[in-house]
Amino acid sequence: MNKILTSLLSLGLACSAALAAEAAITAVKVTDSLDGIKADSAIWSNAKFSTITLYPQTAIEMNDKKANELTENAKAKKAQVAALYDGKNIALMVKWADGSKDLQSGYASTTYSDGFAVQFAGATAKPQPLPYIGMGSVGRPVVVHLQKANEKVYEPNGNKDVGNQINRQQTGVFGQELADFDAKVASLAVTDYERIFVGEGFRSLTEVKDGSIKSNSSMVYGANGWSGILTRSLKDDYVNLSGTVPVSIAVWDGSKMGRNGLKNLSSWIAINLDGQKQNAAMVTDLTTDSKGDASKGKAALEANGCNGCHQMNAADPKSFMAPSLKNVGGYSTAAYLRESILKPSAVVVPGYNRNAHSNTPWYNLEKGKRISTMTDYSHLDKATVEDIVAYLKTLKAEVE
Ligand code: HEC
C-alpha cells in the first residue's frame, strides 16, 4: 500500500487530501540566469507548481487577547509553490490567497502587514535531524528569509506627518518646492522590507546584514492573492543546497494581526533539484506517512497521560502546562514527533508565558541547558511510539 502511495506521489498526482505528508517539489533546472528575476518574469513558465498546506502555528500563544481571538480556530491555507535553479541560485515562487492587501505602513505598531518567509536548514558539519520548524534549535540552525508587504513610507517620527511639513495649497507659489520635497521624501522612503535571519531556536534570531547572504525577495498582489518570490545563492556560509533541499514556508495575514509566531506554516517540504542525486532517505521521510495505527495511537496517548498536559484538539480546554498539539500534525515531520516523545529535551519549545505562568515552566535550566518538563517516554516500545506518531499526524486544522 505504502509503495503504491509513494509512486503515486512521485507522479505528482493530487492525492494530498488523503495523505498527511506533502509531495516533493521539483526544482526545474534552467540555463538562463535567475539573477534579477521577478514574479512576472517569463522564466517562471518552466516551473512546475505543487500545492502545499500551511497550518496555524499554535505551539505558543502570544500575550495579545485581540490577536488571539482573531486567530482562534484559524484554518489551514493552501499555497502553490514552484522552484527553479541555475548553476548559482535557487528561486522559489509561493502563491497564496488573501482577501485583503495589508501593507506595513511606516513604523506604526498597530497595523500589521501580510508577508511570507522561506526557511532553509542551515549547513552543519555532520548530517543531523532537521531543525525545529519554529526557528531552528540548538545545534540545528536555520536561515529564514522574510519579506513583508509594505507601502513606500518615510516617517521619521512615525506620526504620518511628513506631508504636513509643506504647504500644499499654494502650488502656484511653491510648485517647485513641493516637487523637490516629494522627490526627497521618495528618495528617503523605505521601499522594501526584506530581512534575513539565522536562528538556533526561539528568540535566538540574528539578522544577517553584512551581505554574506545573497538573496532577493518581493511580493505582488493580484486577483488571486499574493505571489512572493525569493532568489538566493545555492551555497554560502550558511547553507549548501544540493540534491534534496528541505524548506518550510510561512505566511502572515495582516488583517488577522499576524506577526511573529502568529502565522501559517508548512512542515519541512522536500525540493528535489532536477537532475541532481536526491537524498532518498529524506524524500521518503518527508513524503510518506507514519506506518503506525492512529486509533491505537489515540488510546496509547490517553493511557500515557499526554492529554493531561497537552491540548490535543480545538474542542479541548487550553493548557498552560505544555504547547497545544492541535496543529502539530500539520507542521511537524514524523521524525520530529518521534524524537519529541523519546527525547523531550532534544528540542525544547520554551513557551511565551513564563512570567504569567511561572508555576508551569516548560523547561528548567540545568547547567545552562534547557531540560524539558515533559515526562520522558523513552521506555515506550517502538510500535506504540509509531502509533502515537500516526495519531499526532492527524492533529491539524481543516483547510479554509
Ligand atoms: C508533564 C506534562 C507533559 C506530558 C505528560 C507530556 N508532555 Fe509533551 N510536552 C510538554 C512540555 C512542557 C513540552 C514543551 C517543552 C518541550 O519541547 O519539550 C512538550 C512538548 C511536546 C511536543 C512538541 C510540541 C511542539 O509544538 O513542537 C510533542 C509532540 C509532545 N510534547 C508530545 C507528547 C506526547 C505524545 C506525550 C505522551 C506520550 C506527551 N507529550 C506528554 C509536557 C508534557
Number of Cβ atoms within 10 Å of the Cβ of 350: 17
Q: Span 182-210, mean pLDDT?
A: 82
Per-residue pLDDT at 278 exceeds 80:
yes
DSSP state of 189: S
Atom of ligand 1 nearest to the CA of 349: 17
Helix axes 280-287, 2-10, angle to 10 degrees: 100
Beta strand spans in the chain (E): 25-29, 50-56, 77-85, 89-96, 115-121, 142-148, 193-199, 206-207, 215-222, 225-233, 244-252, 264-265, 269-273, 363-366, 369-372
Phi-psi region of 211 (alpha: psi -120 to 50; beta: other; left: phi over 0): left
Is a pLDDT exceeding 70 seen at residue 110?
A: no
Per the structure block, which three cell numbers stand in for 230? 525569493
> Is the pLDDT higher at 348 or at 204?
348
Residue 180: per-residue pLDDT: 85
Domains and CATH numbers, the chain: 21-153+190-287 (2.60.40.1190), 294-393 (1.10.760.10)
Closest-lying ligand 1 atom to the alpha carbon of residue 360: 12
Name which of 235-244, 317-326, 348-357, 376-385 the model is least confident about. Answer: 348-357
CA distances from 278 to 263, 282, 284 (A): 30, 9, 11
Chain center to CA of 317 = 26
Give yes or no for residue 372 CB within 6 A of ligand 1: yes
Residue 258: pLDDT over 90: no
For residue 153, the model assigns a pLDDT of 64
- Kindly tell me if the per-residue pLDDT of 353 is higher than 60: no
Q: What is the DSSP letter of 149?
A: -
pLDDT band with cut points at 50, 70 and 90 for residue 108: low
Query: Where does the pLDDT of residue 107 fall: very low under 50, low under 70, confident under 90, or very high at 90 and above?
Result: low
Q: Which atom of ligand 1 is nearest to the CA of 324?
A: 26
Q: Residues in the chain, how many?
A: 400
Confidence at 95, pLDDT banded by 50, 70, 90 = very high
5: pLDDT strictly greater than 60: no
- Residue 388 CA to ligand 1 center (angstroms) comes to 12
**Residues 149-163 pLDDT 10s:** 887 666 677 666 776
Helix, strand, or coil (residue 280) = helix
The model's confidence at residue 20, banded by pLDDT at 50, 70 and 90, is: low
In this structure, what C-alpha cell is assigned to residue 29? 533546472
How sure is the predictor about 105, in pLDDT bands with cuts at 50, 70 and 90? low
Residue 348 CA, closest ligand 1 atom number? 17
Share of the chain above pLDDT 90, in %: 57
Amino acid residing at 259: R
Residue type, 111: T
Q: Is the CB of 308 under 6 A from ligand 1?
A: yes
Cell of 153: 513610507
> Ligand 1: distance of its center to the CA of 117 in Å?
26
Out of 306, 359, 378, give the residue to mutate to test ligand 1, the one with the largest number of ligand atoms within 8 Å of its CB.
306
Burial of 73 (C-beta count, 10 Å sphere; 0-12/13-18/19+): exposed
Give the pLDDT score at 354.
53
Q: Which three cell numbers stand for residue 64?
A: 495579545
The answer to whether residues 266 and 130 touch, using CB atoms and an 8 Å cutoff, is: no
Say if residue 248's pLDDT is above 80.
yes
Which is it for strands 89-96 and 77-85: parallel, antiparallel or unpaired?
A: antiparallel
Confidence of residue 181 (pLDDT cuts 50, 70, 90): confident
Separation of CA 375 and ligand 1 centre (Å)? 8
Dihedral over alpha carbons 217, 329, 98, 82 (to 10 degrees): 40
Q: Where are the alpha helices (DSSP H) in the chain?
A: 2-10, 65-71, 171-188, 280-287, 294-303, 306-309, 328-331, 334-342, 382-393
pLDDT-wise least confident of 206-210, 246-250, 326-330, 386-390: 206-210
Q: How many CA atoms lie within 13 A of 35 on its CB side?
A: 4
* pLDDT over 70 at 167, yes or no: yes
336 Cα nearest atom in ligand 1:
29
Query: Does the Cβ of 344 fall within 6 Å of ligand 1?
Result: yes
CA of 239 to the centre of ligand 1 (A): 30
Q: What is the Cα–Cα distance from 80 to 48, expressed in whole angstroms? A: 10
* pLDDT-derived band at 355, boundaries 50, 70, 90: low
Distance 232 CA to ligand 1 centre (A): 35
Per-residue pLDDT band at 319 (split at 50, 70, 90): confident
Mean pLDDT of 48-61: 92
Nearest-5° Cα angle at 186, 215 to 189: 50
Distance of CA 227 to the CA centre of its chain: 16
125 or 240, which is more confident: 240
**Half-sphere exposure of 194 toward its Cβ, with a 13 Å CA cutoff?**
16
- 341 CA distance to ligand 1 middle (Å): 7
pLDDT of residue 390: 97
Q: What is the mean pLDDT of the chain?
A: 86
pLDDT digits (tens, 9 = 90+) for 57-74: 988 877 788 888 888 889
Q: What is the mean pLDDT of residues 170-174?
A: 74
Q: What are the residues facing 85 on neighbouring strands? A: 29, 90
